[in-house]
C-alpha cells in the first residue's frame, strides 16, 4: 500500500488562486484529504470494526461551497477561535475593534477568517505544512502574525495537528481545528456515545458569550464524565442548552497546569464500532452538536440535516481577551505560540 502524501488540483478560488488537495495515507489505509484553502480537511476515511472504510467528516465535493456556504466544515480557525464579545477588547491600554460577524459579536476570526484564505503549502516526508501570514490590522487584530499548522497521519491512526505562531506585536491568538464528525458516515449523531473529561464548562448568555463563570457539570445535561449518548439530555429544559440551542459550549478540561497532553474526549459510534479520541494540550474543548445544520447544505451525496455532525474543537476559552480570570490568550513578541492536538481513531469490539 502506498503511504505518504500525494497532491492534485482542487479548482480555483474566486480570486483566481489555484487550490491543491493533499492526500495523506497511512499503512493501515486511512486517508485524510486536506486543501490549502483554509487548511480544510475535506475527507477523512476511517475503518469500522469490520475494516470497512467510511468518510467520517462533513464537507463538500468542490471548492465553491467552502468559499461561500460552509459553516467552517473541516477548517483551520484564526486568529481567534470562538467569540469575542461585541468585537472589542483592550490590550496594553489600547482599545481594538473587530468586525461583528455573529450578531453583535466577533466569531472565528472574522470574515474572512483563516478558514477562507489560501495558505502556503509544502510537504516534507509525511508532514503537510501550511503557513499563513496575517498582516497587522487584518480583521482588526494588532501585529503581523505568522501562523504555521502541520498535519501528519500516523500509522497509529492518529491525525496530528500542530500549531505554531509568532508575532511582532502583542495580539490574541486562539487557533483551532473545526471538523464536523459523524462516525457512522451519515445520519444523526445523537446516538454517538460521548465522554468529556471535564468537571465544569464555560456558562454562556443568550448570545453565546461567557458569563464569566465556570459551571459545574454535576447534575446537568453537561455531565459527560461517564459515557453518555449525545442525545440523552439534549432536549432537557436547561437554560444553557436553550442559550446554545443545544450543545455549543467550551468544556474546561481536567488537567494539570502547563501544556501536558491529556485525553479530552472520547466518542463511540455503537453500530460501526468506530471510536474517536481527542488528545490536546489546550485547556478547553468546544463541543458543538450541529444545532444549525438544516439540510440547506449538501455534499458527498448527502444533505446535512440537523445534528448530523458534531465538533470537538480544542481551544482556549471564548472571549478570553475580556475575561481576565480565564487562561491568557495574549501572544507577545519574542514568545512562541505552540500547541498540539491528536485525533485518534480505533474500534470497539
What CATH number does residue 315 fall under?
A: 2.70.98.10
Cell of 190: 445523537
Average pLDDT by stretches of 10, the chain with 349 residues: 88 96 98 98 98 98 95 98 98 98 97 97 97 98 98 98 98 98 98 98 98 97 98 97 98 84 97 98 98 96 97 98 97 98 96
With H, G, I as helix, E, B as strand and everything else as coil, classify residue 211: strand
Burial classification of residue 24, based on how many CB atoms lie within 10 Å of its CB (0-12 exposed, 13-18 middle, 19 or more buried): buried
Peptide linkage before 173 cis (omega within 30 of 0): no
Chain centroid to Cα 293, Å, comes to: 16
Could you give the CA distance from residue 49 to residue 64 in angstroms, rounded to a whole number?
A: 35
Instruction: Count up the domains in the chain and report the number.
Output: 1
> What is the spatial distance between Cα 302 and Cα 299, in angstroms, rounded to a whole number?
6
Q: Which domain holds residue 106?
A: 4-347
pLDDT of residue 256: 77
* Helix (H/G/I), strand (E/B), else coil: 345: strand
CA–CA distance, 173 with 149 (Å, rounded to integer): 13
Q: Looking at the whole model, is its pTM more than 0.95?
A: yes
Cite the beta strand spans of 66-208 per DSSP E. Answer: 75-77, 83-84, 88-91, 94-97, 106-107, 120-124, 127-134, 145-153, 158-167, 171-172, 176-178, 180-181, 193-196, 198-204
Task: Give pLDDT, residue 331.
Answer: 98
Q: What does 73-108 look like in DSSP terms, one character per residue?
A: TTEEE-SB-SEEGGGEEEETTEEEE----BTTBEET
Residue 10 C-beta-side C-alpha neighbours within 13 Å: 27
Per-residue pLDDT at 258 = 67
Per 3-state DSSP, the chain is made up of helix, strand and coil in percentages (nearest 5) of 5, 45, 45
Spatial distance between the Cα atoms of 49 and 41, rounded to a whole number of angstroms: 23
Report how far residue 97's alpha carbon sits from residue 100's, in angstroms, rounded to the nearest whole number.
9
Rg of the chain (C-alpha set): 19
178 is annotated as an active-site residue: yes
Which of the residues 67, 138, 158, 178 is marked catalytic? 178
Single out the catalytic residue among 138, 158, 313, 316.
313
Q: What was the pLDDT predicted at 343?
A: 98
Residues 166, 314 contacting (CB under 8 angstroms) = no
Amino acid at each position: 500500500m502506498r503511504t505518504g502524501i500525494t497532491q492534485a488540483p482542487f479548482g480555483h478560488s474566486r480570486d483566481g488562486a489555484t487550490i491543491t488537495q493533499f492526500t495523506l495515507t497511512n499503512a493501515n489505509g486511512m486517508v485524510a484529504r486536506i486543501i490549502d484553502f483554509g487548511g480544510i480537511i475535506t475527507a477523512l476515511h476511517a475503518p469500522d470494526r469490520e475494516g470497512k472504510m467510511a468518510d467520517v467528516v462533513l464537507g463538500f465535493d468542490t471548492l465553491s461551497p467552502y468559499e461561500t456556504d460552509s459553516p467552517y466544515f473541516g477548517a483551520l480557525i484564526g486568529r481567534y477561535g470562538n467569540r469575542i464579545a461585541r468585537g472589542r477588547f483592550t490590550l496594553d491600554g489600547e482599545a481594538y475593534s473587530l468586525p461583528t460577524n455573529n450578531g453583535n459579536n466577533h466569531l472565528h476570526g472574522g470574515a474572512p477568517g483563516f478558514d477562507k484564505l489560501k495558505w502556503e503549502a509544502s510537504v516534507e516526508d509525511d508532514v503537510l505544512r501550511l503557513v499563513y501570514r496575517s498582516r497587522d490590522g487584518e480583521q482588526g487584530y494588532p501585529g503581523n502574525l505568522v501562523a504555521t499548522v502541520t498535519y501528519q497521519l500516523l500509522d497509529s491512526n492518529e491525525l496530528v495537528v500542530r500549531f505554531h505562531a509568532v508575532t511582532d506585536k502583542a495580539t490574541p491568538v486562539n487557533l483551532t481545528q473545526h471538523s464536523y464528525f459523524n462516525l457512522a458516515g451519515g445520519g444523526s449523531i445523537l446516538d454517538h456515545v460521548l465522554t468529556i473529561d471535564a468537571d465544569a464548562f464555560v456558562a454562556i448568555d443568550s448570545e453565546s458569550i461567557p458569563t464569566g463563570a465556570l459551571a459545574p457539570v454535576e447534575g446537568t445535561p453537561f455531565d459527560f464524565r461517564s459515557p453518555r449518548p449525545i442525545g440523552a439530555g439534549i432536549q432537557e429544559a436547561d437554560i444553557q442548552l436553550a442559550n446554545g440551542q443545544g450543545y455549543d459550549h467550551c468544556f474546561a478540561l481536567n488537567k494539570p497546569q502547563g501544556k501536558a497532553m491529556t485525553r479530552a474526549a472520547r466518542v463511540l459510534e455503537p453500530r460501526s464500532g468506530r471510536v474517536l479520541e481527542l488528545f490536546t494540550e489546550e485547556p478547553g474543548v468546544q463541543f458543538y452538536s450541529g444545532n444549525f445544520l438544516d439540510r440547506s447544505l449538501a455534499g458527498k451525496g448527502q444533505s446535512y440535516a440537523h445534528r448530523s455532525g458534531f465538533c470537538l474543537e480544542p481551544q482556549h476559552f471564548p472571549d478570553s481577551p475580556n475575561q481576565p480570570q480565564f487562561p491568557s490568550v495574549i501572544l507577545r513578541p519574542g514568545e512562541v505560540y505552540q500547541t498540539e492536538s491528536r485525533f485518534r481513531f480505533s474500534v470497539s469490539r
